[in-house]
Amino acid sequence: MSELRTAVHPDARTLAEATAGRVLDVLTAAQDERGEASVVLTGGGMGTAVLAAVATSPDRSAVDWSRVDVWWSDERFTEGASAERNCVQAAEAVGGALALDPDRVHCMGSADEFTSPEEAAEDYLRELAAAAAREGRDGPLPRFDLSLLGLGPDGHVASLFSGRPHVHEERATVLGVRDSPKPPPQRVSMTLPLINAAERVWLLVAGAEKAQAVAAVRAGAPVGRTPGAGVRGAQETLLLLARDAAGA
Ligand SMILES: O=C1O[C@H](COP(=O)(O)O)[C@@H](O)[C@H](O)[C@H]1O
């Protein structure tokens, strides 16, 4: 488990551009080392802005996108084509600019395919286990080189919300969420143990309305109150901030 380090950028745009550069560095280094790379994406304002910045970066061709596995730490359990879905927003942000292998883009299941978020979560577990088997891993989880996360003004990460029991989940790695205080109410989410299995976890935060949540994360607030405070990557944990979110 790594310690939390913070980097502050002048604004949301420079945060997105600098983070895109960091993402490309991590994926390139992973492919140099083992020929493959993997990233766990998040939805929300900064998650989408970083993806758009990756897709338009002049350095994007340094990565062989056909050998990148793309996962999501959470998803809204709605119809597949819904603009509320993180997967749909990501595809829009990328706009076909990255030559990803569709078999390696692992969107979480939608309400078109499954009758409940729990069923979609089980399906994602099967998809994770299949990838782990292909990678020759011992357990049911593939390697994640990097996980990007947003932070809500209420301190939530992925779809793990303050005061909800799933924040304290220790065994399940992906679960269905039915009572999200932020619409839509039904979601699928990785839990903290799976988020924290990533080599690197970066929290991306912009906006003065999030300064209080950022301060709570930095102060190590109780995870039940501020889920983002429970995030720790195996090798690295970065809090990547725009100045307004840093409270400066
Ligand atoms: O609901 C969600 O919110 C978080 C944070 O979103 P933001 O727009 O406040 O940055 C996001 O990371 C998560 O994927 C999403 O489902």
Domains and CATH numbers, the chain: 4-242 (3.40.50.1360)
SS3 26: helix
Strand-by-strand arrangement of the 146-150 sheet: 4-9, 236-242, 200-205, 146-150, 37-41, 68-72
CA–CA separation, 238 vs 188, rounded Å?
24
117 lines ligand 1 (CB under 6 A): no
Residue 14, pLDDT > 80, answer yes
1 band by pLDDT with thresholds 50, 70 and 90: confident
Ligand 1, from 70, 151, 177, 179: best to mutate by most atoms within 8 Å of Cβ? 151
Contact (Cβ atoms closer than 8 angstroms) between residue 25 and residue 63: no
C-beta atoms surrounding 230 within 10 Å: 22
Residue having the nearest C-alpha atom to atom 14 of ligand 1? 43
Q: Which atom of ligand 1 is nearest to the CA of 151?
A: 5
C-alpha dihedral (186, 189, 192, 193), degrees to nearest 10: 130
Neighbours of 224 (CB within 10 A): 14
Which atom of ligand 1 is least distant from the CA of 75? Answer: 16
Percent of the chain scoring above 70 in pLDDT:
100
Q: Are strands 187-190 and 174-177 parallel, antiparallel or unpaired?
A: antiparallel
Nearest to 137, CA basis, from 146, 129, 126 = 129
pLDDT > 80? residue 248? no
Q: pLDDT tens across 66-125, in order?
A: 999 999 999 999 999 999 999 999 999 999 999 999 999 999 999 999 999 999 999 999
State both tokens at 117: 């978020």
- Tell me, in angstroms, the distance from the centre of ligand 1 to residue 65's CA: 25
Measured from the CA of 159, which atom of ligand 1 is nearest? 16
Q: What is the pLDDT of residues 154-191, one digit of tens each?
A: 999 999 999 999 999 999 999 999 999 999 999 999 99
Would you tell me how many other CB atoms lie within 10 Å of the CB of residue 119? 15
- For ligand 1, what atom is nearest to the CA of residue 206? 10
Tens-digit pLDDT profile for residues 179-228: 999 999 999 999 999 999 999 999 999 999 999 999 999 999 999 999 99
Smallest CA-to-CA distance from 125 within 78, 188, 41 is with 188
Q: Where are the beta strands (DSSP E) in the chain?
A: 4-9, 37-41, 68-72, 74-76, 146-150, 174-177, 187-190, 200-205, 236-242
C-beta 228 within 6 A of ligand 1: no
| End-to-end CA, the chain | 28
* 66 burial type by CB count under 10 A (0-12 exposed, 13-18 middle, 19+ buried): exposed
Does 182 sit in the ligand 1 pocket, CB within 6 Å?
yes
Rounded to the nearest angstrom, the distance between the alpha carbon of 104 and the centre of ligand 1 is: 23
Q: Rounded to the nearest whole angstrom, what is the distance from the C-alpha of residue 46 to the centroid of ligand 1?
A: 8
63 C-alpha to center of ligand 1: Å? 26
* Burial zone of 180 (CB within 10 Å; 0-12 exposed, 13-18 middle, 19+ buried): buried
pLDDT at res. 196: 98
Distance 67 CA to ligand 1 centre (A): 27
Q: Are 108 and 62 in contact (CB under 8 A)?
A: no
CA of 246 to the centre of ligand 1 (A): 18
Peptide bond into 184 cis (omega under 30): yes
Cα three-residue angle 110-170-46, rounded to 5 degrees: 50
Binning pLDDT at 50, 70 and 90, where does residue 241 land? Answer: very high
pLDDT of residue 56: 97
